[in-house]
Structure 1
């Protein structure tokens, strides 16, 4: 079966794999993106089920689990990015924090080595967090992870951060003095009640065969939450404590990634091609890339926002209220790029217009199917009896007249054998999130130093 997008050269070639020839129209691009991916630390991205070993009796069961995680992630981001949100203060080692739902910190993990000699660990990739941390011995309170706990006592390069260090004053939730761990203590709390607490330290990380000395990490001795079996979290946010911010001149404040299209999701089969992550500006963005200015939200400085001016279905611009996606003074609006969310979330007005236009374009062409839920993946089609199906394109129109034309694989998500659903959903809070389904198969370069994000065609899955 083939699914072809109208007005684009993006083609669905079988149930799970797509080929992309051209993902977007062109616009001006920063001259700094050049070089070879091989000259910078390169890491393979793996999906969470490869680490947890989760298997499902059917694809639909896997999608139902995915929807539950996706809803939790969207609610977490909505709370975190709410203008009324206030991060919790440092509560010390005796606080009692009750964990709620899994905050869905990420669908993708990377394999890194910590310390000397290096200890391999899986870390969740989170572009909306700054602090990089791992669970550490002695474990005063820890969740179950796939790898053995990191033991700082066995590492020759582990060095605790002192209370008088400027590093200790960067984090708003750090403390010094009489804590049970000594030195500079940190705490990162998530909106659902999950948290990590421990000591800040300088340590050597080995990233894709490249050893980097003196990276500030959190050595978590008290951790609560469901972090998908990973040992901790790799923060790639826009703040100075993120891995990208710390490496600074080493990577030029940039990183690139490519998320492979979903293949055999939830079937228990090995999925070794989930994509890649490259730290640095060395990854050349292919010809024909779209470059879009990044937007800085002072209320959420760790997140990468892009300015969205409109959405098109086919060749028609959706009739949306002017300024619907515009960033407001209280920090609401615009679109958050998030690899941890699967289905793109839009304000109710925008989602309803997109859904209605898409349904209207396919009216009578293919049969409808039952949705997964009333709020997520509610617009579905039964394509099991078709050898070829043409579907309308969906395009994001960014500030500055740049357009990103999505492939069929970025618009429809298979939820059962031959059943495909529109991979967009309404946002309960009005927050807009560009999820990983819409990012899949597109080479994305975040160049925070120059204030741009690039969307370029790539075939990584």
Structure 2
């Protein structure tokens, strides 16, 4: 009898959540499409990178023919999710199930977050926690450039043409880094990549920078060898790239090439970089790629990370007018950490009720700590304890009707939704300055963690005062970062 009652309850509940609930219009609830999320998780394991690689090569051959006839083309790149890179046979990576794919993503994510926290700590109080291997290597050179971001956890990639004539390379796109670099010949030590390693001697526009140059002086630390500026980036997971700093021409899509972009030419590189030849830095610092464009702004849209479709990033001021659904907030800057894009987040609400979060828990302190950044390379958003605990507690209270589930240790709230096709859950909204409210869709805060129907709240606690809005919340949104206007905007359902 108890079993029959349970089946009847689940059937009744499933039918109820499929009906339009009046409270949804008030912003107190939203619908999670469980069946659609689980279907995508299955498709993620069936992706064939070899076929996609051949299609990419065919497309590049056509694009090369047309590139210089498109003189008015926008600076627009296709974005590939890390798990859907079009790779040749020897780069095929497989996961036995969706749970192992999720755990791999979370390991990369945790490494990146630790690195961001280490960079913030180093910038504010001078503390440092370089990995032992990296620290030993750094002792052998005259100067270092230390980045706190784990490039090994890069989640979005694109094809960028390096030099003249342009040689296409897979590059990690990273809003948390300022130094562009690519592996170069002759290699003292280079990791395996999908494309031939870049040879600067084959480019008409490669020019090493002198130690007295402004880009060299813009480095946190610089070494000088034979009057040439030397760079080194060390990431929080022990990965690194070192070589000479130069200027080079970069070709973005079908647009005219961008000349004189500072770029590291790495002769000694190590790490887990998937197939990428290097990194295109999209941070707010003086050496990043956007800082060398007429407009420092860019727009990106991230499709669901479980679908093989590509999304785009467009450099330059937004061409379209904001829509009624667009939420705009101030872009803030930290004097201590110029790389990151801080936003004016003022609160979070669950089920239509704003949480009692002290404003200081979301603000940048006088010493430069704290605040909220938007980071495309972090997946699961991180909230400091003053923000996370009331948020988690309110969400758990609003989901007491859902059966508990299991998930990785990083998550505090997991649910077994295997018996449901759709489910009604409390809404989650971000509050920004001037009363702006961004309501998230269910799939922007509840993630499948296996193929069995376990979903978890896609937020985690951090001991750092810094809060990070990760790319799970960006997915399916058009995000505009307009540096010249000190503005960030989010437009839902515009990928």
TM-score range, shorter chain: 0.7 to 0.9
Q: Superposed, which structure 2 residues align to 1:116-131 within 5 Å?
A: 116-131=164-179
Q: Which moved more, 1:232-241 or 1:194-203?
A: 194-203
Q: 1:137 corresponds to which residue? A: 185
Give the drift of 1:313: 0.2
Q: 2:51 corresponds to which residue? A: none
- Structure 2 residue 447 is matched with structure 1 residue 406: no
- Structure 2 residue 195 is matched with structure 1 residue 147: yes
Alpha carbons 2:328, 2:436 under 8 Å: kept: yes
Give the drift of 1:72: 0.8
Aligned residues: CA RMSD:
2.9
Among residues 125, 131, 138, which one is paired with 1:84 in the alignment?
125
Q: 2:408 corresponds to which residue? A: 372
- Structure 2 residue 299 is matched with structure 1 residue 256: yes
Structure 1 residue matching 2:194: 3-state secondary structure: coil
Alpha carbons 1:39, 1:282 under 8 Å: kept: no
- Structure 2 residue 107 is matched with structure 1 residue 68: yes
Unaligned runs of 5+ in 2: 1-13, 40-71, 86-90
Alpha carbons 1:17, 1:263 under 8 Å: kept: no
Structure 2 residue matching 1:323: 3-state secondary structure: helix
Distance 1:95 1:324 in 2: 36
Q: Which moved more, 1:183-192 or 1:324-333?
A: 183-192
Change (3 A) 1:85 1:147: farther
Q: 2:327 corresponds to which residue? A: 290
Q: 1:237 corresponds to which residue? A: 283
Give the drift of 1:148: 1.3
Structure 1 residue matching 2:245: 3-state secondary structure: strand
Alpha carbons 2:116, 2:149 under 8 Å: kept: no
Alpha carbons 1:261, 1:409 under 8 Å: kept: no
- Structure 2 residue 392 is matched with structure 1 residue 355: yes
- Structure 2 residue 59 is matched with structure 1 residue 59: no
- Structure 2 residue 416 is matched with structure 1 residue 396: no
Q: Superposed, which structure 2 residues align to 1:307-456 within 5 Å?
A: 307-364=344-401, 366-373=402-409, 376-417=410-451, 418-456=453-491
Q: Superposed, which structure 2 residues align to 1:2-21 within 5 Å?
A: 6-7=24-25, 12=32, 14-16=35-37
Give the drift of 1:81: 1.2
Alpha carbons 1:102, 1:227 under 8 Å: kept: no
Q: 1:24 corresponds to which residue? A: none
Structure 2 residue matching 1:416: 3-state secondary structure: coil
CA deviation string 1:273-301 (max 9, x = no partner): 24211111134254021111011111111
Alpha carbons 1:112, 1:208 under 8 Å: kept: yes
Q: How many residue pairs end up in the alignment?
A: 425
Unaligned runs of 5+ in 1: 19-37, 265-270
With a CA cutoff of 8 Å and minimum separation of 6, indicate the structure with the bigger relative contact order. Answer: 1
CA deviation string 1:345-402 (max 9, x = no partner): 00123212111111111212x21101221xx223111112113211111111123322
Change (3 A) 1:239 1:96: closer
Give the drift of 1:39: 4.7
Q: 1:267 corresponds to which residue? A: none
Among residues 290, 305, 312, which one is paired with 1:276 in the alignment?
312
Distance 2:411 2:203 in 1: 47
Which of the two has greater helix per residue? 2
Structure 2 residue matching 1:404: 3-state secondary structure: strand
Alpha carbons 2:115, 2:150 under 8 Å: kept: no
Alpha carbons 1:254, 1:281 under 8 Å: kept: yes
Structure 1 residue matching 2:188: 3-state secondary structure: coil
Give the drift of 1:322: 3.8
Alpha carbons 2:30, 2:425 under 8 Å: kept: no
Q: 1:25 corresponds to which residue? A: none
Q: 1:246 corresponds to which residue? A: 292
Distance 1:150 1:140 in 2: 13
Q: Mark the structure with the bigger radius of gyration.
A: 2
Give me the TM-score of the superposition, normalised by structure 1.
0.85
- Structure 2 residue 245 is matched with structure 1 residue 200: yes
Q: 2:69 corresponds to which residue? A: none
Alpha carbons 2:429, 2:440 under 8 Å: kept: yes
